[in-house]
Amino acid sequence: MSESASDDKRGESYVFPDMQENIGHIRRMLGDPADLVIRIISIGGGERSCALAFLSGLSDKAVIDEQIVRQILKAGRFGQEDTGMDISEVLGGLRNETMSVSQVLEVNLWSDVIKAVLYGDTAMFLEGADDVLLIGTQNWKERSIDEPPTEALVRGPREGFTEKIETNIGLIRRGIRDMNLRFVSYTIGRRSRKTLILTYIQGIIHPAIVEEARRRLDTIDIDDAPESGFIEQWIEDSFLSPFPQLLHTERPDKVRAALLQGKAAVMLEGTPFALILPTTFVALIQSPEDYYERWLIGSLIRLLRYLAVIIALFAPAIYIALVSFHQGMIPFKLAFSIAAAREGVPFPAIIEAMVMEGTLELLREAGVRLPKPIGQTIGIVGGLVIGEAAVQAGVVSPIMVIIVAVTAISSFAIPSYSAGIAFRMLRFATMLAAGILGLFGIILTFIMISTHLVRLRSFGMPYSAPFAPMFITDWRDLVIRSPVTFLTKRPEFIQTKNINRANKRGKRS
Amino acid sequence: MSKLLRGLVAAASLILAAGCWDRVEIEDRGFVVGSAIDEGKDGAYELTFQYIVPSAMQGKSAGGGHPSAQSFQNVSSTAATLFKAARKMSNETSRPPYLEHNKIIIVSERLARAGKIQEVLDLFVRDPEMRRAAKLMISVGQAKKLLEIKPPIETLPVQYINSTSENPQKSESIVPATTMGHVHRFLLEEHSFAIPRITQTDSKVSLSGAAVFGSDKKMKGFLDGEETTGKNYFSGTIKAGAVEVEIEGKPLLFEVKRASRTLYANVSDPESPAFTVNVRIEGNVGETYSHVDLLDPQVIRMIENRVSDKIREIMYVVLEKLQKEYKADAIGLSDYLNENHYRVWKKIAADWDRGDHLFSKCKVDVKVHTRLRIIGAIERVQPEGE
C-alpha cells in the first residue's frame, strides 16, 4: 500500500473505464485491507451499475446508507442504458441530482482517489465512466470539547482543543469573526499526511513573521509528526536552549489572544496542542487568568509567579551557599537552629540538596506515569513518609525538606509546563554552582542565564523583550497587568501593523 | 575534538580546583557569640570565647533534645597576642572559632584603664571575619565572669547581655550600644567617648552607667546611672526616661516621651568658646501620689519647672565630673565645633581635651524646656477634699 501510494503521487495513472478493473486496482493498491468496503449497486435497479469503495473505520456509515446508497437505488432514470444519455451526463446527473451530500468531487487521477479514500471519503466508480466521484463522508470518532486538564483555570472558558483539526479551526473562528483571519494549510508527513494549519490575522501580524514561519514550515520533511512537539523542535531557533521557544497550549482563548496580539499559531491534526509563535520569556509566566480577573488580583498573581520563578531557580542554591560558605549572612538565631538541625547529618549541604531534589524529581515522574489513584498514594508516600523518615533517620535536615517542598510548589506554579521543567533543570545547575563557589557561583549562573535569555530569539523576535530591548509601553502589561482600559495598544515589540486595540474613551455615538 | 576535550578538562579543573576550598559546613563552625578580654600574667591577654552548643539550643526551643545540656561553652586561653590566644583555642575545641556572629566584646576595666583598648581592638577591626557591628562594653572587674551568668530567660548569657544593651528605649541610664566600628572611629579621631559599662550582681548584669575614655585612649573612670542619664541628655540620645520630682511633699513621676537637644556656641573668643545647650522635653505624668489639681495650668507650669530644674541639676553634675575630674569631652561638644565652626576648631583641636584642656575651662549654659502634654487617663484617684 505504501509504495503504490507514493508512486502514484506523481499522478501518471488514470482511472480505467472498466469498473471491475478499478475495483481490482484499488484492492491491489491498498493491499486488500479488512476495512475496505466495496459495494456494487445497480442504479435504480436497472442494467447500469456502480461500485462504492470506502474504509469502514473512517467513513460515516449513516451518510453512506441514507444519502448515497438509498438515493442511487431510487435514481431509476439513470439506470437504463437506452435513455440516450452520454455516460458523463449520467455521472453528472448522479452527482448533481442524486447525492444529498454537500461535498462531491469529480476526479480521474488514481492518486486523488487513493488519498481521498485514505482520508475517509467514498469513491464511486461508474461502469464505463472515465471519472470517479469522490463523496465527502469523512467521519471519525472525536473526543468532546473538554476543559484542558493541563491548563485548568478558575475563571475562563471551559473549552479546549481536540485532536480534530476542523474542530480546532472552528474553535478559533468562533472567537474571532474577522474576515482577515487566515488559515494556511500544509500537509506534514511523507506517510502520515497530516494537516497542519498556520493561522494568523492579516493586517495585525507583521508580514515578516508569517514569511519566516512559512519558510520554516516548508522545510519540514519527516515521515510522521505524531505531535506538535515534532513541529516545535523542527522550527525552533535554538535546540540547545533549555527554554521553550514556542509556547504550546490547549486553550483556544490563549491562541485567540495571541493572534490578536500579532502572533501566529500552528495547529497539527491529531493533537490538541497548538503552538504560539513568536514567544517571549514573559509569555511563559503569564496566564489567561491574569486578564480575566480584575487588574489588582491579576497583577498580584503575576508578581507571585515571578517570585515562584526565582524560588524555583535559586532557593536550594541560596540555602547551599549560605550553609556551606556564608554562615555569617544567616540571621543569628536562624544560623544556630540550622546548625542544630544539621548536627549529625552526614552529607554536606550540596549532596543533601541533590539527593532530596533528585528524589523529588523521581516522585514527580512516578506520579505522572502511574494511574491516578496510585499516583496520589505515591505523592503521600513520597512526600510525607520518605521526607519524615529521612529526617528521623538523620540523613537530611528538616530545613532541607522545607526548602525542597517550597521549591517544588513554586516550580508547579509556573503556568507553562515545559518552562517549569526548564527552570527545574537550571536549578540543578545553580545548586552545583552554589556548592562549588557559593553565592559567587549563583551570581555567575544568573549572569549566564541572563546572557543566554538576552541573545535567544524566537522567530527573529528577541526572547527577552520587552525587558531587554526595552519597550516601555509594553511594561503596562508585564510585571503589573494594568487595568483593561489602559491596555489600548497591541504589544509594541512585535511590530504589529495595526496598533490600537481599544479606545480608552469608549464608544462615542 | 581533542581541542574541545582539552578545553573541557581545563574548565573542569579550573572550577574544581578553585572551588570548594573555603567550604565549611555550618555544623562544623564553632560559632562564637561573645568574647571577653582580661589581663593575664605579665602583660599577656586572656581571651575568652563563648561558643554555642547548637544541639542544646535546639533542645531548649523545640522541647526535646537534651534539656539539661548547657547551651554554651566558654573557652579561655592566654597568650601575648589575641590572635595567638585564638589560635591556641583551636587546639582545645573540636570546631575552630567563627566570629561573624560575635555580638559583644567585653573588655575588663583594668585593660581599659591601662590604655590598652586600641591594642585589644586591633585584631577585631583588622580581621575580615569580624563584624564591625559587635558591641563593645567595659566590665567592672573580670570580664570573663560575665559570660558565665546563667540567665533564666534567655538561653545564652550573650543573648541576655545583648538584649539588655538594646534597652535605651525604656531606660535613660544606658548609653546607646557602641559598636566596634564607632570605637574605631573615635580612636582614629583621637576623640573622647563613653561606652556602656557592664556590672555583675549575683546572677544578673546591669548595663546602667558608662565608661569614659579620654582622647589619650585611656579610660578615665565610670559614670554611674544618674550621671549617664545626664550624659544622654547632653548627647541627645534620650529615647525615654523617668524624672522624679516632689510636689507638695509627695512624689510625682514625669515620663519623658520625647527629648531633643540643640547646641549653640559663641566662639568670639576661640580660646574659651561658650556653649548653650537647649534641651526640649515632652512627656506625661506617669504616676503621682499628691492631690494637686492637674487640670490647673498653674500646677502644670509648676511641675514643668520642677522637672526642668531636676534635669538641669543632673546635667550639671555630669558636666562638672567630665570637665574637672575626667577632662574628657564625651558629650559631643567637639563634634559641634568641628561641624559648625571648622576654622576655630582647627586651631583649638589639639588643645581641646588634652594639652591646654580648653574643654575643662569652657562655659556651658544648660537650658531645659519641659512641656507636660498628658496628665494621664484619669484626673484623680481619691475624691476631692479628702
Tell me the C-alpha distance between B263 and A380, whole Å.
69
* pLDDT at A9 > cutoff 80: no
Q: Does A497 fall in a domain?
A: no
Which residues make Cβ contacts (< 8 Å) with residue A50, sequence separation at least 6? A19, A40, A41, A43, A72, A94, A124, A125, A126, A127
- The Cα–Cα gap between A380 and A398 comes to 17
Residues A113 and A205 grouped into a single domain: no
Q: Which of A255, A279, A303 is the last residue of a domain?
A: A279
Distances (CA, A) of A214 to A124, A194, A199, A277: 36, 16, 11, 12
Domain boundary among A225, A244, A279: A279
Using a CB–CB cutoff of 8 Å, tell me whether A327 touches chain B: yes
What is the count of structural domains for chain A? 3
Place of cell 489588582: A296
Do the domain assignments include residue B8? Answer: no
Query: Between chain A and chain B, how many beta carbons pairs sit less than 8 Å apart?
Result: 74
Give how many domains chain B has, as a whole number. 2
Q: Hey, of B23, B66, B158, which one would you mutate to test binding to chain A, going by the most A CBs within 10 A of its CB? A: B23
Please indicate, yes or no, whether residues A323 and A302 belong to a single structural domain of this protein.
yes
In a domain, A153, yes or no: yes
The last residue of one of the domains, among B223, B244, B263, is B223
Separation of alpha carbons B60 and B65, rounded Å? 7
Q: What angle do CA B67, B73, B75 make, to 5 degrees?
A: 170
DSSP string across A448-492: HHHHHHHH-EETTEETTTTTTTT-GGGGGBTTSB--GGG--B--T
- B69 and B151 fall within a common domain: yes
Q: Please check the confidence at residue A3 and state whether its pLDDT lies above 80.
A: no
Q: Do A438 and B54 touch (CB under 8 A)?
A: no
Would you say the C-alpha torsion A245, A251, A254, A259 has a positive or negative sign? positive
CB contact under 8 A, B101 and A332: yes
Name the residue range of residue B346's domain: 224-386
> Is B358 domain-assigned?
yes
- Which chain A residue has the Cα nearest residue B72? A336
Q: What angle is formed at CA B338 by the lines to CA B333 and CA B339, rounded to 5 degrees?
A: 100
Q: Which three cell numbers stand for residue A427?
A: 536549578
- Is the domain of A208 the same as that of A266? yes
The answer to whether position B44 is within a domain reads yes
CB contact under 8 A, B25 and A343: no
> What would the mean pLDDT of A404-427 be, rounded to a whole number?
90
Query: Cβ contacts (< 8 Å) between B25 and chain A: which residues?
Result: 323-324, 342, 348-349
Residues of chain A contacting residue B57, judged by C-beta atoms under 8 Å apart: 336-337, 340
Whether residue A344 is found in the same domain as residue A429: yes
**Going by C-beta distance under 8 Å and a sequence separation of 6 or more, which residues neighbour residue A378?**
A363, A366, A367, A370
DSSP alpha helices (H): ranges in A10-136? Answer: 19-30, 61-63, 70-74, 87-93, 110-119
Q: Are A262 and A361 in a shared domain? A: no
Q: pLDDT tens digits, residue range B54-81? A: 888 765 444 444 455 788 889 999 999 9
Alpha-carbon distance A235 to nearest alpha carbon in chain B (angstroms) = 28
User: B160: which chain A residues are within 8 Å (Cβ-Cβ)?
Assistant: none
Note whether B219 and B229 are same-domain residues. no
A116 touches chain B (CB under 8 A): no
Asked if residue A427 is part of any domain, the answer here is yes
Is position B17 within any domain? no
For residue A507, what pLDDT is reported? Answer: 77
Which residues on neighbouring strands pair with residue A104, listed in sequence order? A135
Q: Are residues A273 and A295 in the same domain?
A: no
Does one domain contain both A201 and A302? no
What residues of chain B lie within 8 A of the CB of A327, using their CB?
A: 24, 26, 29, 31, 98, 100-101
Has residue A144 been placed in a domain? no
Contact (CB<8Å) B23/A341: no
Residue-level pLDDT at A2: 40
Tens of pLDDT, residue by residue over A81-135, are 777 778 888 888 888 888 888 888 888 888 889 989 988 899 999 888 888 999 9
3-state helix, strand and coil shares in percent for chain A, rounded to the nearest 5: 50, 15, 35
Question: Is there a single domain that holds both residue B117 and residue B160?
Answer: yes
Which of B223, B246, B279 represents a domain boundary (last residue)? B223
Which residue is closest to B155 within chain A, CA to CA? A333
**Residue of A330, A343, A348 with shortest CB distance to B54:** A343
B101 and A345 within 8 Å at the Cβ level: the answer is no
* Closest chain B residue by Cα to residue A329: B100
B23, B25, B57 member nearest A336 (Cβ): B57
* Contacting residues of B for A347, CB less than 8 Å apart: none
- Residue B149 has what pLDDT? 87
Q: What is the CATH number of the domain that holds B379?
A: 3.30.300.210
Please tell me if residue A438 touches chain B, with a CB cutoff of 8 Å: yes
The DSSP bridge pattern shows strands A457-458 and A274-277 to be: unpaired
Q: Are residues B274 and B346 in the same domain?
A: yes
Residues B340 and B199 in one domain: no
In a domain, A142, yes or no: no
| Of the partner residues B19, B26, B98, the one whose CB lies closest to the CB of residue A338 | B26
Per-residue model confidence (pLDDT) at position B135: 92
Residue A333 confidence (pLDDT) above 80: yes
Examine the pLDDT at A6 and tell me if it is beyond 70: no
Which residues from A are below 8 Å from B129, CB to CB? 328
CB pair distance less than 8 Å for A343 and B103: no
Same domain as B242, residue B177: no
pLDDT exceeds 90 at position A207:
yes
Q: Is the domain of B169 the same as that of B268? A: no
Q: Does A340 touch chain B (CB under 8 A)?
A: yes
**Domain end among A257, A279, A301:** A279
How would you classify residue A31: left for phi > 0, otherwise alpha for psi between -120 and 50, otherwise beta? Answer: left
d(CA A134, CA A104) in angstroms, rounded, equals 6
Chain B residues whose C-beta is within 8 A of a chain A C-beta are: 15-16, 18-20, 22-27, 29, 31, 33, 52, 54-55, 57-58, 61, 98, 100-101, 103, 129, 131
* Whether ipTM exceeds 0.90: no
Same structural domain for residues A72 and A33?
A: yes
pLDDT on residue B385:
58
In a domain, A415, yes or no: yes
Residues of A in contact with B131 (CB under 8 A): 328
Does residue A186 lie in a domain region? yes
Q: Is the peptide bond before A371 cis (omega within 30 degrees of 0)?
A: no
Q: Are residues A226 and A349 in the same domain?
A: no
Give A 418-437 residues with CB within 8 A of chain B: 435-437
Using a CB–CB cutoff of 8 Å, tell me whether A324 touches chain B.
yes
Within this chain, do residues A175 and A122 fall inside the same structural domain, yes or no?
no
Cβ of A441 within 8 Å of Cβ of B19? The answer is yes
**B364 in the same domain as B275:** yes
Query: Quick one: B48 and B96 in the same domain?
Result: yes
Residue B58: the pLDDT is 65
Q: Do B26 and A437 touch (CB under 8 A)?
A: no
* Contact of A267 with A165, CB cutoff 8 Å: yes
- What is the pLDDT, as a whole number, of residue B383? 66
In-domain check, residue B139: yes
Spell out which residues of chain B touch residue A349, defining contact as CB-CB under 8 Å.
25-26
* Cβ A438 vs Cβ A325: under 8 Å: yes
- Whether residue A334 lies within 8 A of chain B, CB to CB, comes out as no
Beta bridge partners of B206: B199
Whether B2 is covered by a domain: the verdict is no
Closest CA–CA distance from residue A446 to any residue of chain B (Å): 17
- Per CB-CB distance under 8 Å, the chain A contacts of B24 are 324-325, 327
Measured between alpha carbons, how far is B379 from B377 in angstroms, rounded to an integer? 7
Backbone angles phi, psi at B59, to 5 degrees: -55, -40
Confidence of residue A157 (pLDDT cuts 50, 70, 90): very high
Cβ–Cβ below 8 Å for B101 and A327:
yes
Q: Select from A324, A339, A341 the Cβ nearest to the Cβ of B23.
A: A324
Cβ contact (<8 Å) for B25 and A328?
no
Q: Is residue B64 part of a domain?
A: yes
A42 touches B: beta carbon within 8 Å: no
How close B31 gets to chain A, by Cα (Å)?
8
Question: Whole domain around residue A246: which residue ranges?
Answer: 149-279
The 10 Å Cβ neighbour count of residue B374 is 13
Return d(Cα A251, Cα A338) in angstroms, integer.
45
Domain edge (last residue) among B199, B223, B247: B223
Task: Using DSSP, state whether A247 is helix, strand or coil.
Answer: strand
Nearest-neighbour CA in chain A from B84: distance (Å):
23
Same domain (yes/no): B95, B186: yes
- Co-location of B201 and B101 in the same domain: yes
Helix or strand or coil: residue B44?
A: coil
User: Is residue A201 assigned to a domain?
Assistant: yes
Residue B128 within a domain: yes
pLDDT tier at A502, thresholds 50, 70, 90: confident
Mean pLDDT (10-residue bins), chain B, 386 residues: 88 75 84 91 90 75 53 90 89 87 92 89 86 90 89 84 79 84 88 90 86 89 90 87 87 90 88 90 88 86 93 93 90 88 88 84 91 82 61
Question: Mind listing the pLDDT tens digit for each residue in B130-142?
Answer: 888 899 999 998 9
Domain shared by B230 and B210, yes or no: no
B103/A436 Cβ within 8 A: no
